[in-house]
Amino acid sequence: MAVETRNMTIYSVILVIVTLTCLALSLWYARKLGDMLSKMAKHAHKLQVKSVELSAEKRRADTLLCQMLPKEVAEQLKMNREVKAEQLTSGPQSHVILSRISLY
């Protein structure tokens, strides 16, 4: 009986140690998960702010492009299409030169 009692005590102590270890690991994991979710929320907010800023800048650039060039040309440039040279006969006469400047 003494051996059985001793074994039962050892098993009980081991069970308590394993249970406490699992509890400690669960709490640690929950804290890490909370930290990670908090960082993700902050990052998502920053991305949302940057997206709004980018949209505003795109609208501003599109407006400026449409003020400088005929609407058809501006739309072709925005869609990355090739813009062919053409003679415009209506409206005030102006010249627009599009070129790529290379630095030496």
CA-CA distance, 24 to 18, in Å (whole number)? 10
Residue 63 near residue 78 (C-beta atoms within 8 A): no
How far CA 39 is from CA of 29, 49, 84, in Å, comes to 15, 15, 49
Count of structural domains within the chain:
1
Domain assignment of residue 99, yes or no: no
pLDDT tens-digit map of 12-25: 999 999 999 999 99
Residues 6+ apart with CB under 8 A from 98: 83
Domain assignment of residue 102, yes or no: no
Domain assignment of residue 60, yes or no: yes
- The pLDDT score that the predictor gives to residue 92 is 64
Token digits of residue 65:
């492009």
Residue 73 pLDDT grade (very low, low, confident, very high; cuts 50, 70, 90):
confident
Residue 95, classed as helix, strand or coil, is coil
Residue 96, classed as helix, strand or coil, is coil
Domain assignment of residue 87, yes or no: no
pLDDT tens-digit map of 32-64: 999 999 999 999 999 999 999 999 999 999 898
Domain assignment of residue 63, yes or no: yes
Domain assignment of residue 14, yes or no: yes
Q: Indicate the pTM of the whole model.
A: 0.54
Range of the domain at 8: 2-78
- The pLDDT score that the predictor gives to residue 22 is 97
Residue 57, classed as helix, strand or coil, is helix
